[in-house]
Amino acid sequence: MPFPAQVFRILIASPNDVGREREAAADAIQRWNDMNSSDREVVLLPVRWETHAAPEYARPQAVINRQVGDIADILVGIFWTRLGSPTGVAESGTLEEIRRAADAKKPVMLYFSQAPQRPDLIDTDQLTKLRAFKTDLRDKALFVEFADTTNFSDVFARQLDITVKNLLAESQSGTEAKSDQLSGTVIDLQFADPKDGKPIGDRLALQLRRFIFDDFEAIPDFSPPTPPPSQSAGALGNLSVAAPSPTALAGGLLSLTPSRTPGLISGAMALQPPSANKDYLRQEAALLSIRSALSALRFYLKNNGSVGARDVHVDVTFSATSGNGKLWLKPTLEIPTIEPQKFHASFHTLLTSPYSGRPEEFLKESDVWQYQFDVRALQPQRQVSPASELTVGAPGTCEIKVSARIYADTLPSPISKDLLINLTVTEHHIAASEASSLLDVLS
């Protein structure tokens, strides 16, 4: 399928003794295209004088400069034992191309081969000129020495990606926005609606109606007003096992279907009728306290630029700027999902049990929380809202500062973004003696 793309021309400049390396450079450029072009919407085009210059009656190097060198965006210079032939302007055509590219502030990548060469094939005059150029270059440029063609191919492929990223960053910062299209990769972060993932801006207003059970340990044991239904020995009767939620299943819950589970399980169920769950009220109170103290949180990302990004990584820091400075942050998968049951059978230990601890033991406070998430790819003008994986809360009303740093393969440096949550908490205190009646109403 066609896709729009930026095209960068890469001039491969060298004397005539590095033909294998010239081919290796072109192959590395093509491999980069195969792996990156569709995602980043960037195409690299290798250009060489022998394939991209047409005959013209003028100084040969001037023709090459005009038709090939001056239109290139990146120059790759490769040397071994020769500097090249004089052009009337410079000591060699390769040097003239390098100087013109450097004067135009284009990226210049220089490589020198350290591979052995047969002495009888070495032009000592050329080698002397090359060494002088290399010595003069040490204080002016960063260059790379390589051992052989394979080593050059590997090193050049890695460094080509770095150079392209830098070129994209310069393109982003140096080009004005046109028709509301920004160049480069420009990623924006906002809050999203937890249900549908639609963006809702940089500020979020949350309201929590928090239930607090005073004297939690004093909540009485559950005592049913009437005995549970009797069970005949060896039969399942009217025993009901609550179906776990998909989230609980993902956390490792063992799901049992009595009608399909013969042998040991059926026998264990037949040992005695269901018994009252004395912890039922405390489990219900803990679950209500935890759920009412936290609110789901979801983020929205959009690439407003014209260059796609891969491996997008977002680091987020949460801190309270008012209130008592304490926050709760919990992954959604850690929120208890197993509903307490008033009765359980003798085999209940085979099932994941409801949360039975104090709410305070689950809602651990901290001044600062860290959170991070990843997005595999974000194309230009596309948006994504990862499913809600996070919940947030606080002991009381406060403002929460959300500071994010966004990283991506096409960003030369991370993007920083600050968001704000206005959290309003209304507390409802329940005495232990009132727990039973309140939980009956809420259930």
- Mean of the pLDDT values across residues 155-180? 72
Listed range (141-145, 263-267, 279-283, 376-380) with the worst mean pLDDT? 263-267
Residue 443: its pLDDT value, please?
60
- Mean of the pLDDT values across residues 232-238? 39
Q: What tens digit of pLDDT does each residue of 178-197 get?
A: 433 444 788 999 999 999 99
Residue 241: its pLDDT value, please?
41
Q: What average pLDDT is seen over the chain?
A: 83
The structural domains of the chain, ordered by start, are 6-174 (3.40.50.10140), 187-442 (2.60.40.10)
Residue 442: its pLDDT value, please?
65
Q: Is the pLDDT of residue 348 over 70?
A: no
Q: Is the pLDDT of residue 272 over 60?
A: no
Structure tokens at 439: 């939980």
Residue/partner pairs of 349-356 with CB below 8 Å, 24 or more apart: 350/254, 350/256, 350/265, 350/268, 351/241, 351/253, 351/254, 351/256, 352/244, 352/248, 352/251, 352/252, 352/253, 352/254, 354/283, 354/287, 355/283, 355/286, 355/287, 355/290, 356/279, 356/282, 356/283, 356/286
pTM for the whole structure: 0.52
Confidence of residue 198 (pLDDT cuts 50, 70, 90): very high
Residue 234: its pLDDT value, please?
39
Q: What tens digit of pLDDT does each residue of 74-90 get?
A: 999 999 999 999 999 99
Please choose, from the candidates 246, 206, 202, 191, the residue with its C-alpha nearest in 3D space to the C-alpha of residue 385. Answer: 191
* Percent of the chain topping pLDDT 90: 53
Residue 227: its pLDDT value, please?
57
Listed range (44-58, 230-244, 427-441) with the worst mean pLDDT? 230-244
Structure tokens at 440: 């009956």
Residue 441: its pLDDT value, please?
66
Q: Is the pLDDT of residue 220 over 50?
A: yes
